[in-house]
Structure 1
Amino acid sequence: MITRRTSLNYQDIYLEVFDGHIDTLFNGIDEQFALGFMQHLNFHEDLYKTTAGCIQFLRENWFSHANTEVFLNFVDKIEEWKRRFPAVEIVIFNAPSNLAFFESLIKYLQTEHPNELLLSDPEKEIALIKAYLQINSKKTKPSGFEEIKQAYPDEVMLWTLFSSSFQDADLVNRDFLELWQIETFKAIKLFEYFEKDEQTNEILSRFLEIFSCDSWKTYLKASAGMAIATIDSPNYRGNNFIEVDPQLPFYDLAIEILLQIGIEPIEATIQDDYLYLRNKPIFRTGEAKFQVIYKRFFIEKIFRSLYFQLNVDILAILTPILDTDPPVGF
C-alpha cells in the first residue's frame, strides 16, 4: 500500500514566495540551538509522518509557549489542506528535506558571519521553520497543490507522489542494522585478505601504524562499535550522540577515527545527493563528544574512510615502484 503524503512549502503556509537566500533565514542561529533541532528531527522521525503527528511535533518539539499564536496559525493551514485533500497525509517534515536542511545549516554554522543578528529563542524557532519550508519549496512545485486542483485529483496526487519517491528511496527505505552488518562483513574479509597475502601485508602494516593499532581487529572494534551504537534495536533506541569514554583502551583511536570522518571535504556544494553531508555526517560538540547528523551517512563513512586510507597506503607503496603516476581508478 502506498501512503499518500505530501509536505507543505513556504508558499503553502505564508501565501507568498520567498526570493532570498536561505542563509538570511539562518542569520542569528547559534550552534547549540541548531543542533538541538537536528536532534529533534532525527529522534522523532516516526512521529511527524502523519498529519496529526506533524501537529504534535510542532507543538511539543518546535514551537515554545511564546510562539503559541504562530503554532495555531500552522495548525489552521495544515488542517485547511487536510480538509481539501482528506485522503492525503499533509505534513511538513520528510527525510530528503531533513538532509537538505541539516546540510544547509551545518555549512552556515561553519562559515563566519560578521553581521550576525541577535535573535531570541522564539525568533529562532520561526526562522528555522521558514528555512525548512523554503527547502520544501525547492523540492516541490512552487504552487504546491495547483495541479491537484485539476481533474482527477486522486490520480494526479497518487502518481505525483509515486514518481517523486524514487529519487530518495534509499534514504527513506533503509535498514541501518543490515547496512552495518554488510559493511562489517566486507571490512572483515578485506582485512583477512590483506593479512594473509604477503604482497598486501605491508599495506596493512602501514595502515595499522597510522592509527597506532596493534591489529586490525582493534581498529574494527573501535569503528564498528561506534557505528552500531547509533542503530535502533527492539530494546534500545540508537544514540544520536557519540561520547567516547576516556577509560576505553582504544580512546585515542576512536577519537582519531571520528576526526577523520568529520574532516572538511575539499569541495562540496549543496546538491540532491547531499555530497557535503555524506562527507561530514558528524559534528564535534566537545572534546570527546560528537553529534551524529544522519545515521546512514555516518555508518557508510566510518567504513569508507577505512577504504580511503587503505587506498592512500596502496598508492604510497606502489608509486615509487612504478616511478610514474598511479593507474587510473587505483
Structure 2
Amino acid sequence: MFARKSEIRNPVRMGLLLEFETAFPGEKPLTVGEYLKGGNRETILNVAASFLGFKNQQSKYEDNREFISMCFRAENNELANKVYDRIKELEKKGNRVGIINTYSSLTLFEYFFKAPEEQQTQSEEEFEVNFFKAYLVINSEFTKKQHIAFDSTKDLSKELAFPMMMFCMNYPTSDKTYYDIREIWITQLWKATILFQYLSSDEKTKPLYNAFLEHFAVNDWEEYLKSFLPLTISMMSNHKEGHVDFEVSEGENKDKACAFLDKLIIEAEDELNEFDFLTLRSKPFYKVKDGHYRIIFNLFVVEKIFKGMYFLLREVNKGLPEKAQVKALKSFFGDFFSERILFYDVINTILPKLKIKFSGQDMVAKKIIGGPDYYLRKGSDIMIMESKDFLIPADAKMSFDFERYQDEFEKKLYFEEVNGKEKHVGVMQLIAFIKRLLLKDFGLDNNYNYREVNIFPILIVHDHQYNVPGFNKLIDYWFQAELQELETQGFYVKKVQPLVIISIDSLIYHQIGLAKDIQLNEVLKRYIQHTKREKNLKFRSEEEVKSYTLSKQIAFSTFINEFFQAKGLQEVPPVLEKVAPILFKEKD
C-alpha cells in the first residue's frame, strides 16, 4: 500500500533558502557592512521593518517573481531576471526556494540600528542591488548555521536521525516563523488578564503591582492595557504587507502617550543581545521622529502583552526596597502563577463538569505525595499532566546543535545530575505516577481495571516555541525507554499511550470546542492515531519518505488547529467579552 497524503497540514515545509552563492555564482561576496556602506540608514531600517511586516502565512511575497519585482527598478531588470531564472532552475529539481527569512530581516535591522548615520554615496540603482546582495549574505550565514543540524544528527539511529535533523534546523526560528498572530493575541490577552487580576489582589504582590503602575504612569492595569492594546489591534486589522507606524495625534494627552511609548522603544545606547533577538523582544518599537513610532516585528509586540510582562516586572521589582520585592520572581512566574493559577484555570475551563479530577493542590491537601500537577479521568481514559514553564538559554536555543538541545531539555523534562544524585522531572515524574496507577496505589481514584484504562501522559508547556516538528518525538523517545523498563519489571503497559506535549495556548484558544464539542481525551486519541506510522508502506521516492516522516512529527498545537478547523469548530474564546467589561467599565 502506498502512503496516503495527510489531511492535516504541516506548516513546516522542506525547501531551500536563496543564498548569495546561488544568485551570484562565481562572485566573491563582500560583508554586509561593505555592501551597505554609503547607503541610507533610515532606508535600510525602513526596508528591514517592511520585510518583517510581511505576512508569515500566505504572503504575496512568497511568490519570488512578486518579491524580486518589488526589489528592483527598471534599470536593474537584467540582473533581476538573471536571479529569477537561477531560482527557477533550482526549483526544477523539486526544491521550493524562498528569499525572505525572519532571521535575516531581524539581523539586518539589529546591524544597522547600531550603525552610525553616514553620508550617502551610493546611487539608488546601486543601493538596491547591494541591499539585495547583503540580504543574501545573511541568508548564507543562516544556512551555514543550519549545517550544524546535519552534522549533529547524522550518527543518530534511523528512528531519530531525520526527525531530529528537522527539529534542529527549525527550532531556533520556528517561533518567529510558524505562528498565528490572531491566536497569539487572544492567548496573550487571556493570560495577561489573569496575571493582572492576581497581582492586584494578593498582598505579597501589591507593592510590585503598584510600582509597575507608577512606572507607566497609569492608575490601574486596565488603563495600562487600554494604552497598550491599540498598538496591537492595529496590526490585526492591517491587511497591507509592510511596516506599521503610529503617529501620536496632537492634543492634551500627547505627552503622556509619547512617554508611554518611549518606555517600549529601542534606543541607540541599548546593548543588543547577540542571541535570539532578546533586546528587540523587550523593546519592539523604534522612534522615527518625535511622535512617530514604528513596529519592528509584529510578533514581538503582541508577545509584550503577557510574555514580555516578566521582563518588565523584573526591572520594576529590582527597583523596589528589598522587603517589598517579590522574592524569586522567576519562580513565582514559572512555578506558582503558571501552574497553580493559570494552568488550573484553563483545566477547569475546558473540563468544567468532569467529576474525577484532582489538581496538585488537591492532592497535597489530601496528603497524597508524588502526584502529578493534574489527574483527570473520563470513563476509561486517564490523563495525567505535568506543567512545565521553562525556557532554555538563548545561546543554546540558537545553536542548531542536537547535543546542546539534548542536554538542555534533559535537565528541564527528564532528569538532572545534582550532587551525584538524579533529580527527576517531567518524563520521570510521569513514569513514577504511572507505576502507581498500575499498582492501583492512588488513593483518590482506584475504581478501575488497570488492564482496561488508557493512560495518557501529558506535558503542558507554556511557550509556543516548542510547537515545532520533532520535539514531541524526542521527549516521547525518552518516555518509551523508561516505559520499556517498567515492562521488563512485569508491569502491564500496553494501554499506556505515547507522551504528548501540549502548549497551554492550544487549550486556551480552543477552550470552547474542548468544553462543548470534543473533549481533550478524544482529541488526544485522534492525534496519537495521526502521528502513528503505518507499517509496510511503499514510497515512490526518498522525498516521499521524508515528507511522510515529517507529517508524523506534527506538534499537537498544529494538529488541533487543523482538526478543529476541519470540523468547523472555530469558535474562539470570549476574550473580548471577558476583558472588555473590565477595560471599559465606568469609573466611580
Q: Output the TM-score relative to the length of structure 2.
A: 0.46
1:170: which partner in 2? 175
Match among 55, 65, 74 for residue 65 of structure 1: 74
Distance 1:321 1:200 in 2: 8
Distance 1:308 1:290 in 2: 22
Tell me the alpha carbon deviations over residues 125-168 of structure 1, each in whole angstroms, 9 at most, x when there is no partner.
Answer: 011101111011111249x9xx9xxxxxxxxx999767623332
Q: Is the 8 A contact 1:28 1:118 kept in 2?
A: yes
Shift in Å, 1:120 = 1.0
1:88 corresponds to 2:95: yes
Distance 1:174 1:82 in 2: 26
Q: Output the TM-score relative to the length of structure 1.
A: 0.77
Change (3 A) 1:18 1:284: farther
Change (3 A) 1:160 1:232: farther
Q: Is the 8 A contact 2:29 2:137 kept in 1?
A: no
Structure 1 or 2: more strand by fraction = 2
1:227: which partner in 2? 232
Q: Is the 8 A contact 2:87 2:97 kept in 1?
A: yes
Aligned ranges for residues 44-63 of structure 1 at < 5 Å? 44-45=54-55, 46-49=59-62, 53-59=63-69, 61-63=70-72
Match among 78, 87, 90 for residue 87 of structure 2: 78
Aligned ranges for residues 144-163 of structure 1 at < 5 Å? none
Shift in Å, 1:55 = 1.7
Shift in Å, 1:297 = 1.3
Shift in Å, 1:320 = 5.5
Shift in Å, 1:8 = 1.7
Alignment: residue pair count: 303
Larger deviation: 17-26 or 287-296? 17-26
Distance 2:254 2:306 in 1: 18
Q: Is the 8 A contact 1:208 1:215 kept in 2?
A: yes
Distance 1:312 1:159 in 2: 37
Calculate the aligned-residue CA RMSD, in Å: 3.5
Distance 1:167 1:305 in 2: 19
Match among 88, 94, 104 for residue 97 of structure 1: 104
Shift in Å, 1:226 = 1.1
Match among 25, 29, 33 for residue 43 of structure 2: 33
1:194 corresponds to 2:199: yes
Shift in Å, 1:179 = 1.8
3-state DSSP of counterpart to 2:31: coil
Letter in 1 for 2:190: F
Q: Is the 8 A contact 1:97 1:136 kept in 2?
A: yes
1:127: which partner in 2? 130
Letter in 1 for 2:132: I
Shift in Å, 1:124 = 1.0
1:256: which partner in 2? 259
Change (3 A) 1:202 1:164: closer
Tell me the alpha carbon deviations over residues 36-83 of structure 1, each in whole angstroms, 9 at most, x when there is no partner.
Answer: 42354244441233xxx1122111x11011211221221222222223
3-state DSSP of counterpart to 1:243: strand
Letter in 2 for 1:104: Y
Q: Is the 8 A contact 2:266 2:280 kept in 1?
A: no
1:107: which partner in 2? 114
1:23: which partner in 2? 33
Distance 1:244 1:301 in 2: 20
Distance 2:49 2:324 in 1: 49
Letter in 2 for 1:14: F
2:271: which partner in 1? 267
2:216: which partner in 1? 211
Match among 273, 285, 293 for residue 296 of structure 2: 293
| Long gaps (5+) in structure 2 | 1-9, 151-161, 332-588
Distance 1:241 1:327 in 2: 37
Q: Is the 8 A contact 1:230 1:238 kept in 2?
A: no
Distance 2:329 2:49 in 1: 41
3-state DSSP of counterpart to 1:317: coil
Distance 2:259 2:41 in 1: 23
What is the percentage of aligned positions where both structures have the same residue?
25
